[in-house]
């Protein structure tokens, strides 16, 4: 995902997507923490390491994100579009 799926083999003639897509969501710091804690990778990390990395992240962000202030998070959507030729 870090490379927008460009390193994954793609066996179709690729159609270039000109527009970039993203999901934007407003979060309070607590809401962001709740969201991040739903990720399976975080749950697996906790299982293996017996600690929650989200708590450390939230503590480091707290001075910059006080109270119930909402900030917008942007999640890019990567698309590889191809054509099946018969």
pLDDT digits (tens, 9 = 90+) for 19-71: 889 999 999 999 999 999 999 999 999 999 999 999 999 999 999 998 899 99
- Count other C-beta atoms under 10 Å from residue 32's C-beta: 20
CB 42 within 8 Å of CB 53: yes
Query: What is the arithmetic mean of pLDDT over 12-20?
Result: 89
Residue extents of the structural domains in the chain: 14-82
Residue 86: its pLDDT value, please?
78
């Amino acid at each position: 995902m870090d490379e927008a799926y460009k390193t994954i083999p793609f066996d179709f003639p690729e159609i270039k997507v000109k527009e970039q897509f993203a999901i934007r969501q407003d979060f309070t710091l607590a809401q962001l923490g709740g969201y991040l804690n739903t990720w399976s990778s975080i749950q697996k990390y906790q299982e293996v390491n017996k600690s929650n990395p989200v708590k450390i992240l939230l503590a480091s962000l707290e001075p910059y994100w006080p109270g119930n202030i909402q900030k917008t998070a942007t999640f890019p959507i990567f698309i590889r579009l191809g054509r099946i030729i018969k």
